């Protein structure tokens, strides 16, 4: 080591403020860049996930919609056939 | 001759290449950059004129050199994208731009912190300093031009043209200390012939230069992956990749 003590190392021959300011800000800038990169990656992964979940929800909603439509149709048919049997019964009664 | 390179124009292959290379670059970057800085800060001898303030050289010179190298790399990516219509190189261009801007900022800031004790001022409108500031604005211009287009193919072309035009600034920065009689000193290591610096000071400088280059390369690999994901977010392979990642983390738990 070039310096005699840690004290001397931090003082940098009275230029400590400038040397550590330069190195500190540089490392901070690099750190900010790294954090930004990692956060962006996490955000993109979350976006893909939410997109997948949204597609699944749409699919399920479509299936549910089709099922309810079918049920409605069936019940409509049933009530229609019920009415026709009622009418037939009436006709028989009349005759 | 260049045929082996073609598969990497495919985004999926490029993404995987980044994935494989990243750990190696990250590890070697950490070792060489911290090694270079510690060597320069604590073990290199003191300058007989500037005292210990000269130690700022170990971050200032690498960042200044690499701010120009990153710009050159970005411009080459833009050129390939424009000439051969390769989408992937526009992604590389946009992955490089923020890294270059950060490094240019570091070069300017450390220069100011060095200028204050040695020149007595944080800033002068000297040719070297001004042209380096223009380099920062060029980076920021490329980024904002790309962001201002909704259609990213158009955005890549426009930002690519700007990046190419800005190349004219690189020789201006390099030769500014020769063309104009300025406050900034001349070249020390990036010149033909013997470097005018003692070897005990030069070796840590070269190591921190290599270290910072590797740090930038490692960050580039990550940002390149992000850029690919951003553009390909609806592709089946991206969805499969994200789902695979989730399964992996779920398995670890």
Query: Considering only alpha carbons, which residue of chain A is nearest residue B107?
Result: A26
Which pLDDT does position A90 carry in this prediction?
Answer: 74
Determine the Cα–Cα distance for residues A38 and A42; give it in Å rounded to an integer: 6
Query: Considering only alpha carbons, which residue of chain B is nearest residue A21?
Result: B113
Task: For B121, list phi and psi in degrees, rounded to 5.
Answer: -150, 150
For residue A38, which residues of chain B lie inside 8 Å, CB to CB? 222
Give, for B1, the enclosing helix (H) or strand (E). none
User: Are B55 and A19 a contacting pair, CB within 8 Å?
Assistant: yes
User: Are B53 and A15 a contacting pair, CB within 8 Å?
Assistant: yes
User: Are B156 and B97 a contacting pair, CB within 8 Å?
Assistant: no
Instruction: Check CB contact of B69 with chain A, cutoff 8 Å.
Output: no
Which residues 3-32 in chain B show a CB within 8 A of chain A?
A: none
Buried b (16+ CB within 10 A) or exposed e, B197-210: beeebeebbbbbbb
pLDDT digits (tens, 9 = 90+) for B105-149: 999 999 999 999 988 889 989 889 999 999 999 999 999 999 999
Tell me how far the alpha carbon of residue B106 is from its chain's centroid: 11
Shortest distance between the Cα of B181 and any Cα of chain A, in A, equals 26
Instruction: Check CB contact of A37 with chain B, cutoff 8 Å.
Output: yes
Give residue B240's pLDDT band: very low, low, confident or very high (50, 70, 90): confident
pLDDT digits (tens, 9 = 90+) for B11-25: 889 999 999 999 999
Determine the Cα–Cα distance for residues A28 and B223; give it in Å rounded to an integer: 18
Contact assignment for B105 to A29 by CB distance below 8 Å: yes
Which pLDDT does position A46 carry in this prediction?
Answer: 92
Contact assignment for B219 to A34 by CB distance below 8 Å: yes
- Kindly tell me if the per-residue pLDDT of B2 is higher than 80: no
What single string gives the DSSP state of each residue in B15-68?
HHHHHHHHHHHHHHHHHHHHHHHHIIIIISPPBTTTBGGGGGHHHHHHHHHHHH
pLDDT digits (tens, 9 = 90+) for B128-138: 999 999 999 99
Which residues 55-94 in chain A show a CB within 8 A of chain B?
A: none
How do the residues of chain B divide into helix, strand and coil, expressed in percent and rounded to 5? 80, 0, 20
Q: Which ipTM was obtained for this model?
A: 0.89
Q: Which of A2, A15, A33 sits opposite B219 (nearest CB)?
A: A33
* Coil, strand or helix at B170: helix
**% of residues, chain B, pLDDT over 90:** 62
Q: State the helix-helix crossing angle for B87-119 and B11-38, rounded to 10 degrees.
A: 20
């Amino acid at each position: 080591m070039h310096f005699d003590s840690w004290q001397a190392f931090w003082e940098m021959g009275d230029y400590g403020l400038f040397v550590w300011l330069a190195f500190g800000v540089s490392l901070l800038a690099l750190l900010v860049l790294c954090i930004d990169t990692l956060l962006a990656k996490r955000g993109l992964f979350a976006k893909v996930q939410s997109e997948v979940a949204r597609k699944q929800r749409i699919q399920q909603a479509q299936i549910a919609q089709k099922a309810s439509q079918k049920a409605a149709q069936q019940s409509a048919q049933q009530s229609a056939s019920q009415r026709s049997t009622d009418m037939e019964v009436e006709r028989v009664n009349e005759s | 001759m260049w045929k082996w390179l073609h598969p990497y124009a495919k985004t999926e292959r490029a993404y995987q290449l980044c994935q494989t290379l990243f750990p190696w670059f990250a590890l070697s970057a950490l070792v060489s950059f911290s090694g270079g800085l510690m060597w320069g800060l604590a073990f290199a001898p003191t300058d007989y004129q500037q005292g210990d303030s000269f130690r700022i050289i170990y971050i200032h010179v690498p960042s200044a050199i690499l701010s120009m190298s990153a710009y050159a790399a970005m411009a080459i990516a833009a050129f390939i994208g424009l000439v051969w219509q390769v989408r992937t190189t526009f992604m590389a261009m946009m992955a490089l731009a923020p890294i270059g801007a950060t490094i240019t900022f570091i070069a300017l800031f450390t220069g100011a912190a060095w200028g204050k004790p040695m020149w007595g001022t944080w800033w002068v409108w000297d040719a070297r300093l001004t042209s380096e500031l223009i380099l920062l604005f060029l980076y920021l211009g490329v980024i904002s031009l790309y962001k201002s287009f909704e259609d990213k193919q158009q955005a890549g072309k426009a930002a690519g043209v700007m990046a190419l035009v800005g190349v004219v600034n690189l020789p201006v920065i390099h030769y500014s200390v020769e063309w104009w009689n300025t406050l900034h000193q001349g070249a020390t290591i990036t010149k033909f012939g013997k470097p005018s610096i003692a070897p005990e000071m030069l070796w840590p400088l070269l190591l921190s230069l290599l270290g910072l280059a590797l740090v930038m390369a490692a960050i580039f690999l990550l940002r390149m992956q992000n850029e690919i994901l951003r553009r390909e977010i609806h592709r089946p392979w991206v969805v499969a990749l994200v789902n695979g990642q989730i399964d992996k983390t779920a398995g670890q738990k």
